[in-house]
Structure 1
Amino acid sequence: MRFRIVASLGALAVLSGCILYAPVDLGALGSPGKLQETVVLGRAGAKLALIEVSGVIAEADSRSRIGISERPGLIVETRNALDRAAADEDVVGGLLRINSPGGSVSASDTLHHEIESWKSEHKHPVVAYLNGIATSGGYYVAMASDRVIAHPSSVTGSIGVVMPGLSIEGLMEKYGVVDQTLTSGKFKDAGTLLRDMSSEERVQLSSVINDLFARFVDIVVKGRPELSREEITTLADGRVYSARQALESGLVDELGYLEDAVEELETRAGISESRVVTYHRANQTRENIYSRGPNISVQVTDVNLLPIRRSELAPGFYYLWPGALEP
């Protein structure tokens, strides 16, 4: 009887899925198209490249809830955009629009490195614009810029490291499940969810977290030279800051809107007028400077492309504000 109920529910789920996803153009989802350039602001002058850093920073491709690859991952797309801008002699600066709660430690650091290398190699000024949520790894990436401007209602900060984890040892004991994992050393399975973590393991893993935290602080020290290491360490207790609090503490340079960031970048590039350009796939549209993210077709909006959830985080170390994720 129980099997029949489960089978019936499964069939209903499949049927519901068919009804929900029937209008989706799967070919469009799996094929991101070629990278294109669109002018989203201005009509004359040199170009300023608008680089989007949106969503959880990860190395994997972005995927829909139904498991179909929608577009290349954030690092891949950022590198593609930077390469496209580097090949264009009319591009004289980069504008980072950041709306991200952060991501994995390695992905955040890689993205910061890519932007910093582009800026250094091509001698272009870079301005970071914090829009909405720009916390942890998102703020880490902003440290590659020459100036940080925050939207008046944005939040930032969350400087620190998190290693998600839980233990189901008590649940296993309740149902008589025994862990028989074999390891080559006492720390080999540290952090496993199959048992509670020992005090020794906590110390060992905390040492890794402390090293990664020190790396974060180093990046902020370099990006905010007007603040001492002691001041930054005090600010870096993991809390998030409103835009006003971030300005008062020295984590950002000013509050403003996207147009203010463009004007700042024009000044740093030594130009009086500009064309702000963005790079996107052929199956996406960009109508103005506020256009962001995929806009493939009406059919694709039927797909549930939700942000990553806390429960979907892979094991590892993160420069991430968990409070910005769905349960």
Structure 2
Amino acid sequence: MKKIVVAIVAPFLMAGCVFMNVSLTDEIRPLEEKVLSGEGKNKIVLVDISGVLSSRDSSRGILGGKKRINVMVKLREELDKARKDGNVKAIVLRINSPGGTVTASDTLYHEIKQFKADTGISVIAHVMDIGTSGAYYAALAADTITAQPTAVTGSIGVVLFRIDATGLLEKVGVQAEQIASGKRKGMGSPFRRLSKDERNLFQGMIDSLHGRFVSTVAEERRMPLAKVRRLSDGRIFTSQEAKTAGLIDGIGYLDDALEQARKLAKVDHATVVAYSRPGEYRPNMYSLSLFTVDMGEIVDPGMNFMYIWWI
């Protein structure tokens, strides 16, 4: 597609017979409200949480698509817009994500909790295809969690992804040398193997972050810690299994989640709206960001502690 566009445009540019206003900065414009369905002055805002949860913005080259801001910035922007609108009566989080970094997941959870505390507005989390690990962690901040009949959720746990390149370097005859201020300064480097002591240190950090996840589930779902620990070995659950285990409140479709939001808001009628950038086509409530996995967001330079289900 890029080649076709360039082939069409290039002759006109070389001939000097056309003026084009091309933005090379890929400017991100403010959000606009789009009506999706319903009627009346009261509003239910549909907010999308999708893809890998990360603090990184994704960016593509010229003619390669628009820059996409990270999910933390996007969620805060949408919640701030909803805060300023006195007609907003409820938020429905449409979740389609395997999770992401520990910090991104925890930040989303915090932002949703803070929004509820500031406004008193009800928040419903609804899982579409997948709402696992960090995405489930973020959903815990909602008043109610529901899921599609075919959704999967759960995967309570932490993972640390690390590449060991020592074998490859040995094969090609390359030796990596590191000069550091302390023996553990290069801990986790892909250019040397982990010592037993270093592995134990990493495991301790993972256990601590896992404990935070488990205690958050226990608190928000009002479940005994012992029960949550039994569910937190990293396994995923179907929506029915999750409901039986007490991890979610109900099973249904997006329509059902919107209706539940209307009832929680105690309004007879409501207009369902979404916030999008100018030029984005959103004809109905399913027209939100598709679930995509950018491997660059997972295999990030350095090491990241992740609340994520590896799909």
Secondary structure, aligned partner of 2:129: strand
Deviation at 1:179, TM superposition (A): 1.9
| 1:257 Cα deviation from its structure 2 partner | 0.4
Matched, 1:110 2:94: no
2:117 corresponds to 1:139: no
Length, aligned pairs only: 296
Q: Is the 8 A contact 2:100 2:298 kept in 1?
A: no
Counterpart in 1 of 2:87? 90
Q: Which amino acid aligns with 2:142?
A: S
Equivalences for 1:1-327 in 2 at 5 Å? 19=3, 22=6, 27=23, 30-64=26-60, 70-225=67-222, 227-293=223-289, 307-309=293-295, 313-314=299-300, 315-323=303-311
Cα distance per residue 1:68-109 (max 9 Å; x no partner): 761322111111110110000000111111101111111111
Q: Is this contact kept in 1: 2:52–2:98, CA < 8 A?
A: yes
Q: Secondary structure at the match of 1:101?
A: strand
Is this contact kept in 2: 1:32–1:282, CA < 8 A? Answer: no
CA 1:312–1:121 in 2, change beyond 3 Å: closer, same or farther?
A: closer
Structure 1: distance between partners of 2:5 and 2:207 = 45
Q: CA 1:205 to 1:20, structure 2 compared with 1: closer, same or farther past 3 Å? A: farther
Give the secondary structure class of the aligned counterpart of 1:177: coil
Whole-angstrom CA distance in 1 between matches of 2:309 and 2:5: 32
Against the structure 1 CA distance between its residues 157 and 198, is the aligned structure 2 distance closer, same or farther, given a 3 Å change threshold? same
Does structure 1 conserve the Cα–Cα contact (< 8 Å) formed by 2:54 and 2:297? no
Instruction: Answer yes or no: is the 8 Å Cα contact 1:62–1:72 preserved in 2.
Output: yes
> CA 1:98–1:19 in 2, change beyond 3 Å: closer, same or farther?
same
Which segments of 5 or more consecutive residues in structure 1 lack a partner in the other structure? Answer: 1-16, 295-304
The CA RMSD over aligned residues, in Å, is 2.4
Residues 30 and 68 in structure 1, CA contact (< 8 A), matched pair in contact too: no
Q: What amino acid sits opposite 1:151 in the alignment?
A: Q
Deviation, structure 1 residue 229: 0.9
- Report the Cα offset of residue 31 of structure 1: 2.5
How far apart, CA to CA, are the structure 2 residues paired with 1:256 and 1:79?
27
Take 1:213 and 1:71, find their aligned partners in 2: how far apart are those partners?
A: 30
Aligned-pair identity (%): 37
1:192-227: CA deviation from partner (whole Å, max 9, x where unpaired)? 1112211111100111111111111122112201x2
Q: Classify the secondary structure of the residue corresponding to 2:167.
A: helix
Q: How many angstroms apart in 2 are the aligned matches of 1:130 and 1:313?
A: 25
The answer for the alignment partner of 1:3 in structure 2 is none
Amino acid at match of 2:67: E
Given that 1:56 and 1:102 are in contact with CA atoms closer than 8 Å, whether structure 2 keeps it comes out as yes
Bigger mean CA deviation after superposition, 134-143 or 32-41: 32-41
Deviation at 1:21, TM superposition (A): 6.6
TM-score (norm 1): 0.84
Shift of 1:316: 1.1
The alignment's TM-score, normalised by the length of structure 2, stands at: 0.89
Distance change (3 Å), C-alpha of 1:236 and 1:21: farther
